[in-house]
């Protein structure tokens, strides 16, 4: 059950933002064993003054089209699954909406399964 938060500069059209969500969901389904209909994502847009990043940290040439993706997920995936997820996200977002690989920043936050409640105040995985 990933919870995905996407941050980017404001001004992109709705189709661009939808393509990011679609690509992320497809990548997670293909590499992270995410079940069908398990899609929980938010997009937050920022003006230039509130979206700060280093354009060359670790020799990556980032532009103003940088997309920061943070995925909170159960701590059940292998390193190989994480690497596959990173690669697949970059591939899919490169295809549509056309984001350069240098502009895709991904972070995974792992949590224990019992730390989720999907509604009704229940810990469905506990």
Candidates 2, 13, 35, 101; catalytic one:
2
Whether 62 contacts 102, CB under 8 Å: yes
Asked if residue 97 has a cis previous peptide bond (ω within 30° of 0), the answer is yes
The structure tokens listed for 123 are: 């810990």
CA–CA dist 45, 14 (Å, integer): 12
Supply φ then ψ for residue 100, to 5 degrees.
-65, 145
Task: Say whether 13 is catalytic.
Answer: no
CA–CA dist 75, 101 (Å, integer): 26
Active-site positions? 2
């Amino acid at each position: 059950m990933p919870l995905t938060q996407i941050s980017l500069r404001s001004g992109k059209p709705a189709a661009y933002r939808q393509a990011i969500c679609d690509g992320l969901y497809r990548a997670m389904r293909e590499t992270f064993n995410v079940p069908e209909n398990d899609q929980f994502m938010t997009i937050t847009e920022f003006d230039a003054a509130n979206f700060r990043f280093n354009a060359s940290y670790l020799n990556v040439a980032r532009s103003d089209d940088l997309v920061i993706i943070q995925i909170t997920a159960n701590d059940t995936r292998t390193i190989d699954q994480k690497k596959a997820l990173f690669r697949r996200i970059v591939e899919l977002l490169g295809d549509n909406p056309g984001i350069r690989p240098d502009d895709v920043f991904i972070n995974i936050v792992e949590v224990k399964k019992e730390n989720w409640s999907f509604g009704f105040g229940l810990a469905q995985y506990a």
